[in-house]
A and B are shown apart, each in its own frame.
Chain A
Amino acid sequence: MNNKLYGNLIFELSHPGRKGYSLPDNKFGDYEVPAEMRRENDAQLPECDEMTVVRHYTNHSGNNFGVDNGFYPLGSCTMKYNPAINEEIPGMADFRDIHPLQPVDTVKGCLDVCAGLRKALSEIAGLADFTLNPFAGAHGELTGLMVIRRYHESRGDEKRTKVIVPNSAHGTNPASAAVCGLEIVEVKSTADGVVDVDDLRGLLDDTIAAVMMTNPNTLGLFERNIPEIAKLVHECGALMYYDGANLNPMLGACRPGDMGFDVMHINLHKTFSTPHGGGGPGSGPVGVRKGLEQFLPDNEHDSTLSVSPYHGNFGVILKAYTYILSLGKEYIKYVGPLATLNANYIKESLKDVYELPIAGLCKHEFVFNGLADKSTGITTMDVAKRLLDYGYHAPTIYFPLLFHEAMMIEPTESESKVTIDGFIEVMRKIAEEAKNEPELLKSAPHNTPIGRVDDVLAAKHPVVTYKSMLND
């Protein structure tokens, strides 16, 4: 991109009186907008000609980085390839040109897609049924917890107001529980990174509504004590909630329903290859075991409840169904094992230069605790910034909070060995640079449109609109 010419905000390109449109003469007379509906001041909109607008946004779009641009090992996000057929099918007019309010008889095919996906997800998860209505993962968590609340209330068990969440959980877990009006109780992890069953045992009583677990957990480790945990949780009358954010490595290997989970959500935009990032569009279907179907909030189950109008994000639902049908039963079982193989290959290839706090096999992702050589003063942030110079998206950093210099890498099954070897080579090179040219890392990135941002200033004094920039 030409930063000299196109590094401006659209507001800075504005010239009074310039227009990108010409409207036909008004043949209908003036319409007087009622005074109380008029704004007091003019909207501050940029005034530009059409070509300036096109060039501005086309040049900026070149600054995007996505899975289609390069390797994107963002841990916990499952940035797998979104096959082109996932766009082709939803582009068909029969799917594209529909309206949620048109007569049901005219959209039977679309309803069939929803029914088909529910059936496929139920089979993949080992559960009885799903609702496709939630719009994203955290929305799914909230919906799932509401299902759990309704279940307890339906039994007249009103005192179950607490949810147990591991200290390695995604931040959305406690947030969803809080939004659902539930109190959060944290369960510790053992030194080898899984839920501490003894600690959990002490927390279980008749005030616990559910235990939320992610498996594999955020350290990429398989929670091997689930059968015992499920037994303890069910004995105390609570339900097991499965956070499906990390479902990918389980595909074809095992099913949450078989492990004793009662309620779960799935991130279609992660595991089932629909595009995501930058806030959407997501889809977080919620599944339940047999006996809980009547608490699902949609037209097929309890139609008195609703978490979204109509049928959720239909476009995402269709893409996920396309992906599942393209792979079929025969090939979907390779997803988990290949994602796991790729993650372990990277981990083993780099563990001599990056600190691996928990040794052994991981699943789809793993966590390094910064560089092995702590004497250089180079932080995980510096490594992440330097990776941008080499054309890679940085991994998730400083999460999970269990390690101070966490660097969470998830390659997914999409990547070839050639791509992965290239990444390993660059990570080793960066470890060398940390020793020999630390300044290069501390001031990275150098090859990106914008250099190192001042994140302290950005956090303390965010300027997020042009107006606030002017007022500064």
Chain B
Amino acid sequence: MAKVIEGLYYAESHEYVKVEGEFGYIGITDYAQNALGNIVYVDMPDTDDEVEAGEDFGAVESVKAASDLTSPVSGTVVEVNEALEDTPEIINQDAFANWIIKVELSDKTELDNLMDAAAYAEFCEKEAH
């Protein structure tokens, strides 16, 4: 069973947002890394790029498939996780610890459109069947 962490916000496209003050850390969930299998490449935006809720900001490539990364929130990229350039497999080891981008949130009300841990766990359960 995939791990789900309390206190994060979840999107149907299997990204999470961890909010700290005005910033959000965006990554893919444990369910997503498990479904993708061994991750070999993460295509990330540059810092200062704008991301928009519902729009693609990059892609994750595994030995099975390439999957677009969809931003659950809007804002400006203030940091990308550079460790992923050489060791993308750390997402497989711990998807929640290894976020992909850090975004300065431009509209915190967008978080209301996302799921909480319980709703997301239920969503995954349905998706698996």
Contact = CB atoms under 8 A, between A and B. Distances in A.
Contact of A401 (B41, B65, B89): B65
A456 B65 contact: no
Interface string A96-124: 00000000000000000000000000000
A404 B35 contact: yes
Query: Which of A398, A399, A404 has the most chain B CB atoms inside 10 A of its CB?
Result: A404
B63 A456 contact: yes
Contact of B41 (A398, A399, A455, A460): A460
18 contacts: A398-B64, A398-B65, A399-B65, A401-B65, A401-B67, A404-B35, A455-B38, A455-B63, A456-B38, A456-B40, A456-B63, A456-B89, A459-B40, A459-B41, A459-B61, A459-B63, A460-B40, A460-B41
A130 B40 CA distance: 42
Contacts of A401: 65, 67
Interface residues of B, number: 10
Interface string B47-69: 00000000000000101110100
Interface in A428-472: 455-456, 459-460
Nearest to A400: B65
Nearest to A379: B37
Interface of A: 398-399, 401, 404, 455-456, 459-460
A168 to B, nearest CB: 14
The 3 closest A-B pairs by CB, nearest first: A459-B40, A398-B64, A455-B63
A125 B96 CA distance: 51
A49 to B, nearest CB: 40
Interface in B51-104: 61, 63-65, 67, 89
Query: Which of A398, A399, A460 has the most chain B CB atoms inside 10 A of its CB?
Result: A460
Contacts of B89: 456
Interface string B22-47: 00000000000001001011000000
A312 B89 CA distance: 44
A460 B38 CA distance: 11
Query: Which of B40, B41, B67 has the most chain A CB atoms inside 10 A of its CB?
Result: B40
A439 to B, nearest CB: 20
Nearest to A456: B38
Contacts of B67: 401
A7 to B, nearest CB: 25
Query: Which of B35, B38, B41, B64 has the most chain A CB atoms inside 10 A of its CB?
Result: B64
Contacts of A460: 40-41
A199 to B, nearest CB: 14
Contacts of B38: 455-456
B116 to A, nearest CB: 24
A401 B41 CA distance: 18
A205 B59 CA distance: 29
A67 B38 CA distance: 31
Contacts of B63: 455-456, 459
Given A398-B65, A401-B65, A459-B40, 6 more contacts: A401-B67, A404-B35, A455-B38, A456-B38, A459-B61, A460-B40
Contacts of B61: 459
Nearest to B87: A460
Contacts of B65: 398-399, 401
Nearest to A455: B63
Nearest to B40: A459
A225 B40 CA distance: 39
A398 B35 CA distance: 10
Contacts of A398: 64-65
